């Protein structure tokens, strides 16, 4: 597994829960995971190919029930060990790149109305995302008997907690910009 390529571990993590095709993996990443990680076909398929060679994943004998080609992947014992080793590794890179904050930081050369506008755009996005997360939360609460779901739940709670903090900040920031 490539040293700093995390898509491998995302795929491994998803396959640890259930067998999936590359296409399925992409859909999963575009769901709840997309709030803290992203991935495209252009990275998923090559990664699957490489991990197959390394025997971290393997193809399930394709069920020919439907005629269309469809490669279902399964995690191997080695794959599970790789995943566990990563989970046990204390190093975790948490990286935030917020263009909105850049626009706050450098907003001083413009009229304050521009910054207020940028806060409002951000606020709108956050509100929409918060709705989605609350929907996920409601769904997960029905199935918390499953250990994996409890873990998914943690990330959803994280999202809600931070997005609510964002909203609080939006109000504070707008207030400051409207002062004086």
Partner DNA sequence: CGTCACATGTAAGCGGTTACATGATTCC
Partner DNA sequence: GGAATCATGTAACCGCTTACATGTGACG
Residue entry with tokens 């263009």? 99
Angle, alpha carbons 49-50-56 (nearest 5°): 100
Q: Would you count residue 3 as binding DNA (CB under 7 A)?
A: yes
Q: Which does 41 bind (CB under 5 to 8 A by kind): a second copy, DNA, none?
A: DNA
Q: At a CB cut-off of 8 Å and minimum separation 6, what does 119 contact?
A: 100, 104, 170, 173, 174, 177
Residue 22 contact partner, candidates DNA, a second copy, none, CB within 5 to 8 A by sort of partner: DNA
Backbone angles phi, psi at 67, to 5 degrees: -75, -20
Structure-token pair, residue 50: 């490489």
Picking from 31, 30, 2, 28, the residue whose alpha carbon sits closest to that of residue 16 is: 28
What residue ranges bind a second copy (CB under 8 A)? 6, 9-10, 12-14, 16-17, 32-33, 35-38, 80, 83-84, 86-88, 90, 92-110, 114-115, 117-118, 121-122, 125, 147-148, 150-155, 157-158, 161-162, 164-166, 168-169, 172-173, 176-177
Q: Which is nearer to DNA, 69 or 147 (CB)?
A: 69
| Partners of 21 in beta bridges | 72
Binding flag, residue 5, DNA (CB under 7 A): yes
Interface residue list for DNA (CB under 7 A): 2-7, 21-24, 27, 38-43, 45-46, 48-49, 66-72
């Amino acid at each position: 597994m490539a040293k700093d390529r995390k898509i491998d571990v995302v795929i491994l993590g998803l396959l640890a829960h259930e067998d999936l095709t590359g296409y399925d993996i992409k859909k999963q990443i575009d769901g709840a995971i997309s709030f803290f990680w992203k991935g495209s076909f252009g990275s998923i398929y090559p990664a699957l190919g490489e991990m197959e060679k390394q025997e971290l994943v393997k193809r399930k004998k394709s069920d020919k029930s439907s005629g269309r080609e469809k490669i279902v992947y399964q995690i191997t014992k080695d794959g599970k060990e790789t995943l566990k080793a990563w989970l046990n590794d204390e190093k975790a890179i948490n990286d935030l790149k917020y263009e909105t904050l850049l626009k706050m930081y450098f907003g001083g050369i413009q009229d304050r109305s521009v910054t207020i506008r940028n806060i409002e755009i951000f606020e709108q996005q956050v509100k929409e995302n918060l709705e989605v997360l609350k929907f996920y939360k409601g769904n997960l609460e029905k199935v918390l008997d499953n250990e994996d779901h409890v873990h998914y739940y943690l990330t959803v709670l994280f999202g809600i907690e931070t997005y609510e903090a964002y909203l609080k900040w939006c109000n504070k920031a707008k207030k400051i910009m409207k002062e004086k």
